[in-house]
Amino acid sequence: MVDKKGPTSSPARATIRRMGNRSIWGRTIFALAAVVVLATLNAPAVAQSFEDLLGPDYGQPEYPSRPAPVPGQTFRDCPACPEMVAIQSGTMPNPPTIVGGRVIDDDAPVTYTSIGRFALARTEVTVQQYATFVAATGHRSADQCSAWTNAVGREIPVSYDPSLSLNWQNPGFSQGQDHPVVCVSWDDAQAYAQWLSNLTSQSYRLPTEAEVEYSSSLETYFTIFFAETVCPGANIPDQSAEEYYQGWELAGCQDGFSHTSPVHQFDPDFRSLYDIAGNVREWTEDCWNGQMFRYPSETARPSLEGDCSQRMPFGVSWAYRPLMTVRTMIRFPWSSTTGLNDIGFRVARDY
């Protein structure tokens, strides 16, 4: 009588795997032979034996390098990769110092940061895209995720409750596969970017603070918008969230979403980017420090000065306040090893 586990649990499986690792064609030939043997022996799950014998990396093509894109061009390096848009190089004035909503040293000379060319994902990484990465790599994501609460009187009503067991698959609210993944740490985002780099032989990474601000602006930077002017065209804290967060000061409009929304729900901006303002805040490469864009040589390299145990999420989200104004460059550091249920990420790529 054949054991229920069949030959796949015997030394035969190890032999087939060693022989099949020689090449894609060799692996295919040995897999076909193995399927015939398994079927003859009446082993279960014959239809799954290709994946079982060859491993999850079988059939992944070595994606060839593509010609450098031109500014404004959208492209995708592989079927599982995010869609990217090429951003032209340029310069951007360094941010003013804002204290209590007022600009300090308004008469100080304006300095500039140089932005080299790069590509930026059109959307935040979705739940489906992140799930593909986890399935392909076995990556273990952050097991600690904090959540926004309904607390009244707290400037930043965020708390961590281990009993809730929040994670990227259970952020505390319902999500679709096309919603941005949240409850992922900076380390998780780095691992995802590295996976894309390995898959495509391209240089994927997290963007810098300066790159995202540059990408989100046309001629003016660090602009302060009244919430009513961007809603309902962006997913920000508004009356749609009143059922869950009665203690919050909410914008008077309704965007239709109490938490995250699909990444293509709202219109893209002038660079064809979605959700630069709203939906979720996004991890950047930069360490936390008190001064935005503290870059040597005035170039948009990531700032690695300061407290690198905390990293900088960019922008505003379905939850993040102040609610009466919306600035793209809101600065609120977070631990690089833990998640929060309004922080996701999008990737950048050099070209």
Q: What is the CA radius of gyration of the chain?
A: 24
- The whole-angstrom separation of Cα 203 and Cα 140 is 22
| pTM to 2 decimal places | 0.76
Asked whether the beta carbons of 86 and 72 are under 8 A apart, the reply is yes
Report the run of H or E that residue 133 belongs to, with start and end: helix 127-137
Q: Please write the tens of the pLDDT for every residue from 228-241.
A: 667 778 898 889 99
- The whole-angstrom separation of Cα 212 and Cα 123 is 12
Q: Does the pLDDT of residue 25 top 50, yes or no?
A: no
Average the pLDDT over 236-248 and give the result.
87
Report the run of H or E that residue 32 belongs to, with start and end: helix 24-40
Show me where the domains of the chain are located. 6-54, 118-349
Mean of per-residue pLDDT scores for the chain: 76
Q: Does the pLDDT of residue 38 top 50, yes or no?
A: no
Lowest mean pLDDT among 1-10, 211-220, 307-316, 325-334: 1-10
CB atoms within 10 A of CB 194: 14
Q: Please write the tens of the pLDDT for every residue from 108-147.
A: 677 778 889 999 999 999 999 999 999 999 999 998 999 9
Closest among 50, 61, 196, 43 to 132, alpha carbons compared: 196
- Residue 218's Cβ-count burial label (10 Å; 0-12, 13-18, 19+) is exposed
Residue 316 has φ and ψ, to the nearest 5°, of -120, 165
Pairing state between β 281-288 and 343-344? parallel
Q: For 118-349, CATH number?
A: 3.90.1580.10
Q: Could you give the count of Cα atoms lying within 13 Å of 76 in the half-sphere of its Cβ? A: 8
pLDDT of amino acid 246: 82
What is the DSSP-derived secondary structure letter of residue 175? -
Question: What is the separation of C-alpha 28 from the centre of its chain, rounded to a whole number of angstroms?
Answer: 35
Lowest mean pLDDT among 164-173, 227-236, 341-350: 227-236
Where does the pLDDT of residue 205 fall: very low under 50, low under 70, confident under 90, or very high at 90 and above? very high
- The whole-angstrom separation of Cα 278 and Cα 281 is 7
pLDDT of amino acid 12: 41
- The whole-angstrom separation of Cα 319 and Cα 307 is 25
- The whole-angstrom separation of Cα 217 and Cα 200 is 29
